[in-house]
Amino acid sequence: MSRAPARAPRAKAPAAPKPARPRVALVVKRSAFRAWIEERRDARMRKLLAAGDPTVARVRASHEEHERTVRAVTRALRKVRAEVHEIGDPTRPFDPGDVDLVITVGGDGTLLATSHSIGDAPILGINSAPSHSVGFFCGARGADEVEDILARAIAGELKRAVLTRMQVSINGAVVAARVLNDALFCHASPAATSRYILELGGVVEEQKSSGFWIGPAAGSTAAQRSAGGRVLPLTSPKLQLVVREAYAPHGERYRVQRALIAPGGRLVVRSKIHDAKIFVDGPGEVVDVHFGDVVELTQAAQPLTLLGISAKRRWG
């Protein structure tokens, strides 16, 4: 009786490649309670807290809410098996590396500071203490939203808004390449007059004022608006100039006090004071400007991609 030929053993199918772990740069705010009470052990702040002083009433509550959100973010990142690159101090320039996503845990200030070091990577802001802060640029609010929003961000499912940024140069050298909110040009002393020659759209004008604000649409709801400017659509490509407290003692009126600058346009300013300053996106980044320096302000080459934010989002 003949036997059937033996069958060759089946070759094993190649194992499916493991999905790449998402690479995330994580920036976590240091709360005021942690910075002043736990780390610096500031005697005055501790005394005010112990006395229940109203000036520090929110410090502890905000810290506790912030910490709950930080723990939720840590759990969510572990759940999606993210490869996390933690950033210590976003106010100092840093290289986020080749990441898929940047996450900030704090408020608008944390996101703003972080944005100066971010090029093409999308950024997701998580408002860690929504009971105590606005977080207009944040796509998630508090601990309860973290897990769902973060998973959708990793999957590329969140809506996004692409925001114009501004570049500042002095004497041809770039001093700020990614301004998101605004820049304030003024004298070092808030009580002193700012003197400068302004050039825009063919108009050259010597002015005296308290300085001027200029920035992209993302900052138009803040200082620009308070100084009399317009609120622009969030994704508008225009820059807005707003002169503060223009001083024309002989009744003349300056031609350029408020202006919108289209892409490709530029504002050129020649300083007529020795101790001028440019404050970039708040008080943290300050650039010195001297007599005769030429400042140029233009649209930046790199916009910022914000996740969880609609391009039609309105202030309010």
Residue positions annotated with a catalytic role: 108
- For the chain, counts of helices (H) and of strands (E): 6, 19
Task: Confirm if 304 and 180 have CB atoms less than 8 A apart.
Answer: yes
Q: How far is CA 118 from CA 84, 150, 293, in A?
A: 16, 19, 28
Task: Select from 269, 263, 264 the least CA-distant residue to 171.
Answer: 269
Q: How far apart are CA 7 and CA 104, in angstroms?
A: 59
| Pair of tokens at residue 251 | 């009744």
Task: Confirm if 251 and 152 have CB atoms less than 8 A apart.
Answer: no
Q: How far apart are CA 122 and CA 130, in angstroms?
A: 22
Q: Which amino acid is at 152?
A: R
| Pair of tokens at residue 158 | 């969140």
| Pair of tokens at residue 82 | 């993210």
* Other Cβ atoms closer than 10 A to 280: 24
Q: How far is CA 168 from CA 177, 193, 216, in A?
A: 6, 22, 12
